[in-house]
Structure 1
Amino acid sequence: MDTATLDYLRTIAKRLDSAKHGEKSPIVELAAAYLCCSNKQVYQLLKDAGLTTPRKTRTDKGESIITRAQAELIGGMILVATRANGKQILSVTDAAEMLKAQGKIPDVAVSTILRALKAYHCHPSQLATPTAHVTQRSLHPNHVWQIDASVCVLFYLPKGGLAVMEQKEFYKNKPANVKKIEKERVIRYVVTDHYSAATYVEYVMGAESSENLTQVFLNSIQRRDANDPMHGVPNILVMDKGSANLSGLFLNLLDRLGVEHIEHAAGNSRAKGQVEKHNDIVECKFESRLSFLNIRSLDELNAYCTKWRAHFNANAVHSRTRQTRNAIWLTITNQQLRLAPSLEICRELVTTKPKTVKVRGDLTITHTVKGYANQAYDLTHLPDIYPKAEIDIVVNPYRAPDIDVTWLDTVYTISPVETDAAGFAIHAPVIGVQMIAKPESQADSNRKAMMKAAYGADTESEVDKARKQKQAAYVGTVDAMADVDNSYSDGNVPNVITKAAQTVDTSAHVASREVKPYTHVEAAMQLRGLLGSQWTSDHFADLQKQYPQGVPHSAINEIADRIVMGKPVTYLKAVNE
């Protein structure tokens, strides 16, 4: 294209840019006549020269006849009708037809609806995308462990040995076959250390139960062979919300060991994605070998698994660390490694709850830890402790027979009192050598202060002196009769008119009352006390003769008077006889 034609086209392009609606056609026709070509060729020449006027943006660009609320309704219907496995059983076309029939959305093409759904991010493919997740980190080996159980879907273990679960025998349409081998199914437990990805695997029989979970966890934290270094108690254990995981006994074990337990939300298996992935690794890299082995028992299966696991942890390079799992786990420091107690103590911890005991007068308590003798523990150093205080105690699993004492919302670890050959505390004061008093408790201080205030004293000796002199307490401060006096002054104790009454005649009762007479010996003792040396053996013989049935109480004084006057002892008849 020559320069003259290009300059002319630039002029035409400027005129077209400034032309109003309806004025462009005459300009193009004039240019076509001048250049001896058609209108279409004029537009082509302008395009070739790069002078094409851009098309004006539509005023309704970005708008849709389908509103956001309508798009959300369509997307919501499809979302609700989608199965748990992700299968979409309601199409956009069917959902649109339902809503068109009800007048909920305009009668437009499905393509228009699809564009609107994508624009509003309500399209089924957009709704099916997973929620963005955050990748978390742990700080060191044994900081965080993850545990998960999975039913082995490939094999079961009857008495005859490991058997393959054939697809044609065991599938959803034959539940009876699955039920038949329910107790023979093998459960695989996988435990991983989040920091190093070191793995512990153990197979159990039956089902996911708290007993199996406890057994596997206790085995995983114990020290094993040198080629299997992963051991110790983790700080945190992440698991799902299965009934076995949340059983009271297992959670009690974790609490006693000082393990924080985190249960992720249902359906969020990514929260423990590491152990989920290692379940897959075990299935692919270990269980794929079982078809070529003759396994007869669970112990044999676990023996093969232990051998494979040691090989895997020692040689498999992790993609995150670029090192083997054992190499990373072995970076754990002494401060980070919490050695597990013995299996005997661990099993006791499963059912151990804090025990409430009372403090003895010498500020000690006694407690028996399984595997150790009964021990005494001195609580003197606990703040504000006092006799008969109630405290909670439980064995410290890492320092047995030390115990953890909970007092004033603080936990103290107490060691047993050291004793000598005679059983005395070696730190007790020696008699005649030293005198050591226990620290004064808050109750002691309060008691002394109250007694001083009660008697207006400055010292304890003044209090003792006032009490010895029977002085009244709180003189001038407390009126012990105030409530009684107020009742009289307020008229709460009215005068009562005495009513006429009958006198009770007790003479008949008194006269008829009989008292058991003295025996001869008792009577002789009474008379001897009254007469002294005047009482003789002859008098005793007369007494026995005159009173063969015993001597009445009323006759003693009269008999004594007769003896004093020199008269013989004679039988005195009672008045009523």
Structure 2
Amino acid sequence: MWQREMVAELKNAKPKARKTVLETYQKLHGYSTEHLYRIAREHGFTSGRKPRADKGLSVLAEEQIEFVAAVIYKTGRENKGPIMPVENAMEFAIDNGIMTRGEISVGGMQRVLRQRQLGKDNMNAPTPHTEMRSLHPNHVHQVDVSTCIQYYLDDKGMAIMREDEFYKNKFANFQKVKIPLQRYVLTDHFSGFMFVYYYLAAGETAENLFDFLCRAWEAKEEGNFPFRGAPFSMLMDGGCRAKAKALGQGLWDGLSIEIIPGTTRNSRRQGSVEQSHNIWEQWFETRLRIDPANTIEDLNRKARGFCIWLNATRRHTRHGMTRLSCWMLIKQEQLRELPDRAELHELMNKPEVTRVVNNHKINYDNKVFNLKHANIPHGATVKVIRNIWKYKDGIITVAHDNKLFEARSIERLPPEQGGFAVNSAIIGQEFKAQPETETQKAVKRLEELATGSKEPDKKTTPFAGLNAFEGFAEKVANVATLPRRGTPIEITRTDEPVRIPIMEFLKRLRAAGATITPALNKELRQEFGDAIEIKVAETVIEAICANNDWRETGTRMAQAQ
């Protein structure tokens, strides 16, 4: 190798002759003197000189160095990282008065950045990550959707996206693809078992996600494709997680599947399923150039057969077994069989169910569930979560005050035995007291505080001996008010005589003891009409009761008015 030859010549040459050696290799390979010295040091050359006392020190302040590094970092691209040359960043710093020209060379700045691990290679390097593990097959499933960038289906069948026709400068060709091809991939994190299905869609949809998960978790017809069952947790990116939420929380609560939230721009969290995409592209989709599919059904038929073969034969690099062999380690309690789609649709479409706690019980789906152990207040409203696995055993989950409680249904006797609850107390033979609520316990404490006894007499005065009314006036003894002058009320009197209805007059006449005959009634109405002055009425009543002529009295009073 020429590097070793150069190192041997430099070692044999005197210090003054080393320049000639380097010039020779500069002409041969085009490298600078600094770069040739760097190559020589990497291959064991040492000059033998004593290191300078200021070796490792920089003439620049840390703020200047970090400013250049910050410019390089913040001007980078999201997918490629920092791309600005160091010389360009230094020029920007000089233009803005951060540095002065000639303080340090470009190579010196590059060396300083490398020493502080702020070079481009350091910034482009992936950050350290923590390896995550799952406990068993079907513990965690990862789901991801990707648009196929190599193939699409048109009226003539499968077509290939040629790189000379489909790239960033010919964006119009992408618009010719009416319906892109979406690849859905599910990976079991423990075994690496993968399931793949294709859809014709413009993007991710909740309907396709539901159909895909059902296809992956349902029992398969093929005997060599045993993969099935719902997981306990799911990892997915933001797009899939949004579509999963669109299916309704009732579906995930019902299946007891936890959707683990992720962080943005952290594709390594989805590392297993991302790697499954790569494996599938390399092993399956490369063969589509040889034997393309004509329809989406034909494509999925080919994919299913290849998926069976790949999982059964290809060994996983982590555990060294085939994906199928590793998945077959699953135990009975870990394999949760998926119910039929009709029941899943019911979980999706079912609105949130709430119930009111009454006597430590709630009614749900024509059953009574016991909540004595939950210590939930009487009359509280709780949310009912129906889990299809637990509901088969007569158990539901109840949410109250950000806490979850399991409630078991109360068994009932058959109709011929009255249909009572099995744990009901028999009259005259048993006594089963309900546990006291927190309110009942508190009321007893308050009773004892107020009266001094847990069971006081009804006549007992609470807080006896304490002051309830005395001293209130003294509390405001320092309050002084200015006198206010009032306005006298003027009483207005009307000169018009007071009249009463004729019926009221007749009532008063009858109350005075007079007998009102039809003839008298008629005469009175003809004389006075619908109303009579009250003074006239009093005079007429006196005359009638004294058997005097009331007409003369009434006429005389009317004339006086």
Give the superposition deviation at 1:326.
Answer: 1.9
Alignment of structure 1 residues 393-542 onto 2, 5 Å: 393-400=384-391, 402-419=395-412, 420-421=414-415, 425-429=421-425, 436-451=432-447, 453-454=449-450, 459=455, 462-463=457-458, 466=459, 473-479=462-468, 481-482=469-470, 485-486=473-474, 500-503=488-491, 505=493, 511-514=498-501, 516=503
CA distance in 1, matches of 2:355, 2:281: 51
Question: What secondary structure is seen at the aligned counterpart in 2 of 1:162?
Answer: strand
Q: Residues 348-403 of structure 1, C-alpha deviation per residue, up to 9 Å, x if partnerless? A: 5556675554323x333334xxxxx44443333322x3332233332234323743
CA distance in 1, matches of 2:219, 2:381: 38
Q: Number of matched residues?
A: 490
Give the superposition deviation at 1:514.
Answer: 2.8
Does the 8 Å CA contact 2:378/2:437 hold for their aligned counterparts?
no
Alignment of structure 1 residues 129-208 onto 2, 5 Å: 129-158=125-154, 161-182=157-178, 184-204=179-199, 205-208=201-204
Give the superposition deviation at 1:437.
Answer: 4.2
2:270 alignment partner in structure 1:
272
Distance 1:162 1:429, change over 3 A: farther
Q: Residues 494-526 of structure 1, C-alpha deviation per residue, up to 9 Å, x if partnerless? A: 9988864344658968x324374699xx99xx9
2:327 alignment partner in structure 1:
329
CA distance in 1, matches of 2:240, 2:404: 30
* Cα RMSD (Å): 5.0
Give the superposition deviation at 1:93.
Answer: 6.5
Distance 1:55 1:444, change over 3 A: closer
1:51 alignment partner in structure 2:
none
Give the superposition deviation at 1:152.
Answer: 1.0
Question: What secondary structure is seen at the aligned counterpart in 2 of 1:242?
Answer: helix
Distance 1:425 1:515, change over 3 A: farther
Alignment of structure 1 residues 379-398 onto 2, 5 Å: 379-383=371-375, 385-398=376-389
The residue identity in structure 2 corresponding to 1:514 is P
CA distance in 2, matches of 1:178, 1:476: 91
In terms of mean alpha carbon deviation, does 191-200 or 76-85 score higher?
76-85
CA distance in 1, matches of 2:363, 2:429: 27
CA distance in 2, matches of 1:312, 1:448: 71
2:235 alignment partner in structure 1:
238
CA distance in 2, matches of 1:97, 1:497: 87
Distance 1:124 1:572, change over 3 A: same
Alignment of structure 1 residues 103-122 onto 2, 5 Å: 103-106=100-103, 121=117
1:23 alignment partner in structure 2:
none
Any unmatched runs of 5+ in structure 2? 1-45, 526-530
Does the 8 Å CA contact 2:451/2:464 hold for their aligned counterparts?
yes
In terms of mean alpha carbon deviation, does 489-498 or 299-308 score higher?
489-498
Distance 1:442 1:140, change over 3 A: same
CA distance in 1, matches of 2:112, 2:217: 56
CA distance in 1, matches of 2:51, 2:180: 68
CA distance in 2, matches of 1:571, 1:426: 91
Does the 8 Å CA contact 2:82/2:123 hold for their aligned counterparts?
no
2:50 alignment partner in structure 1:
58
Distance 1:134 1:381, change over 3 A: closer
Distance 1:61 1:375, change over 3 A: same
Give the superposition deviation at 1:283.
Answer: 1.9
* TM-score normalised to structure 2 length: 0.68
Give the superposition deviation at 1:141.
Answer: 1.5
Does the 8 Å CA contact 1:75/1:124 hold for their aligned counterparts?
no
Q: Residues 83-132 of structure 1, C-alpha deviation per residue, up to 9 Å, x if partnerless? A: 55549865566667888997444476x76666666555555455544434
Bigger radius of gyration, 1 or 2?
1
Q: Within the alignment, does 1:212 sit opposite 2:204 as a pair?
A: no
CA distance in 2, matches of 1:340, 1:193: 16
Does the 8 Å CA contact 1:546/1:571 hold for their aligned counterparts?
no
Distance 1:392 1:264, change over 3 A: closer
Question: What secondary structure is seen at the aligned counterpart in 2 of 1:282?
Answer: helix
Give the superposition deviation at 1:195.
Answer: 1.0
Distance 1:508 1:329, change over 3 A: farther
Does the 8 Å CA contact 2:82/2:124 hold for their aligned counterparts?
no
Distance 1:435 1:121, change over 3 A: closer
Does the 8 Å CA contact 1:210/1:244 hold for their aligned counterparts?
no
CA distance in 2, matches of 1:100, 1:58: 34
The residue identity in structure 1 corresponding to 2:270 is K
Distance 1:478 1:288, change over 3 A: farther
CA distance in 2, matches of 1:100, 1:116: 17
